Amino acid sequence: DTGVSQNPRHKITKRGQNVTFRCDPISEHNRLYWYRQTLGQGPEFLTYFQNEAQLEKSRLLSDRFSAERPKGSFSTLEIQRTEQGDSAMYLCASSPGSNEQFFGPGTRLTVL
Amino acid sequence: SQQGEEDPQALSIQEGENATMNCSYKTSINNLQWYRQNSGRGLVHLILIRSNEREKHSGRLRVTLDTSKKSSSLLITASRAADTASYFCVTGSNYKLTFGKGTLLTVNP
């Protein structure tokens, strides 16, 4: 399967713990995006990379959130000191620079 | 903030019927996209229509765009049970997509 992959698919954690998610984009895609989706809502943009450079961050991305794409391939999204309000589906997408974005299956985070 | 607003929020039809979903947006756009999300295949791009286009077809999908009214519609003809999903109207630049809340379409066999 050459689509976007995300790991883990599900994560349950206790409030205050740190979590890290990984996204592997489609190999030839230089752009990578993170979105967050809560129940009943559409995905909301979090951040965007072109190669290894993080070019835009949403105001939704508080100081507890950090994303990296160190070699311009896979990306990680870390949430420190998780809160119950962080419970959501975290979606990663990639694109070759076109308008169409290719989404992964998401990581569902539950903070107890 | 979410730019597009889909209407209706939920739609239930019988297999074989047509489904129409509408979207209204607030600011000027270069293009508008429709995405579908279901538990099986996740979030998938369906079709893009540019601001200088009025209508576009792709298989059983027909999209219209009226920039003067800031609205778009998605028509799915001859619906199938597999079309059951949430459909999102998406605006934004090519790096930052802005999704509406979606229309939940249920196609009953």
Q: What is the per-residue pLDDT across A8-40, written as a single tens digit (0 to 9) for each?
A: 999 999 999 999 999 999 998 999 999 999 999
Task: State the smallest CA–CA distance between residue B5 and chain A in angstroms.
Answer: 10
Instruction: Provide the pairing of β-strand B31-38 with B97-99.
Output: unpaired
Q: How many whole angstroms separate alpha carbon B82 and alpha carbon A11?
A: 28
B4, closest residue in chain A (CA to CA):
A42
Provide, as residue numbers in chain B, all residues whose Cβ is less than 8 Å from the Cβ of A26.
none
Q: Which token pair is B46?
A: 């369906």
Say whether A94 sits in a helix, a strand or coil.
Answer: strand
More confident residue, B1 or A106: A106
On the question of pLDDT at A95 being above 70, the answer is: yes
Task: Check residue A1 and give its pLDDT.
Answer: 56
Residue A41 and residue B101: Cβ atoms within 8 Å? yes
Q: What is the percent of chain B where pLDDT is above 90?
A: 83
Q: What is the average per-residue pLDDT within A47-63? A: 91
Tell me the per-residue pLDDT of B48-57, one tens digit each, with 9 for 90 and over.
Answer: 999 999 999 9
Unique residue bearing structure tokens 């778009």: B72
Task: Give the confidence band of A106 by pLDDT, cuts at 50, 70, 90.
Answer: very high
Contacts of B68 (CB under 8 A, 6+ apart): none
Tell me the per-residue pLDDT of B15-53, one tens digit each, with 9 for 90 and over.
Answer: 999 999 999 999 889 999 999 999 888 899 999 999 999
Residue B101 and residue A99: Cβ atoms within 8 Å? no
Provide, as residue numbers in chain B, all residues whose Cβ is less than 8 Å from the Cβ of A33.
95-97
Distances, alpha carbon B66 to alpha carbons B7, B52, B53, B98, in Å: 15, 10, 9, 18
Question: For all residues of chain A together, what is the average pLDDT?
Answer: 94
A38, closest residue in chain B (CA to CA):
B101
Provide, as residue numbers in chain B, all residues whose Cβ is less than 8 Å from the Cβ of A43.
43, 97, 99
Provide, as residue numbers in chain A, all residues whose Cβ is less than 8 Å from the Cβ of B101.
40-42
Question: For all residues of chain B together, what is the average pLDDT?
Answer: 93
